[in-house]
Amino acid sequence: MEKTFFIIKPDGVKRGLVGQVLQRIEQRGFQLEKLELRPAPSSELVDQHYEALVDKAFYPLIRDFMTSGPIVVGVISGPQVISCWRKMMGATRPEEALPGTIRGDFAQAPQGDETIQNIVHGSDSPESAAREIALWFGEK
Ligand code: DAT
Ligand code: MG
């Protein structure tokens, strides 16, 4: 069965949205394979996770945000779970995320110079899912 990796980012945990995010996963019928509350991740781990973005001008703000507090990490499985979870998350930019999606229902567009805080992460392909599961859960 297809698997994907997800994160409830520091904003989601701080705002008390863990239960509502997990409820949507269960409601949709996906199977929870792994689920852990983790202390704020190290910069090194976040840099590896976002290896495709580390050279972008905005990346330092992402790193600061992602290391700012505890996160929930997990693996879920189900038919087409990678693309389906991406649809459930909604667009990257909160102002573009449709109502009914997690980001569209809970995330606000950045104000001032803060970075995008959009509650959740989900792998974007089978290759990233495998890489991210190995990175966060140490499966070789
Ligand atoms: P997604 O999280 O929808 O997969 P992504 O992988 O392109 O989006 O980027 C990872 C995170 O980085 C994203 O959730 C928010 C932030 N981000 C992406 N593009 C950005 C940009 N142009 N400016 C600021 N932050 C950005
Ligand atoms: Mg991404």
Q: Which residues surround ligand 2, an ion (CB under 5 A)?
A: 124
140 Cα to the center of ligand 1, angstroms: 27
What does the pLDDT average to over 38-54?
98
pTM of the model: 0.96
Examine the residue annotation and report whether 49 is marked as an active-site residue of this protein: no
What does the pLDDT average to over 47-75?
97
Is 115 close to ligand 1, i.e. is its CB under 6 Å away? yes
Residue closest to 121 by CA, chosen among 88, 78, 80, 77: 88
pLDDT confidence of residue 139:
52
> Is the confidence at residue 140, as pLDDT, over 50?
no
Domains and CATH numbers, the chain: 3-137 (3.30.70.141)
Is 33 close to ligand 1, i.e. is its CB under 6 Å away? no
What does the pLDDT average to over 91-117?
95
132 burial via Cβ count (<10 Å: 0-12, 13-18, 19+): buried
Q: Which atom of ligand 1 approaches the CA of 122 most closely?
A: 4
What does the pLDDT average to over 103-131?
95
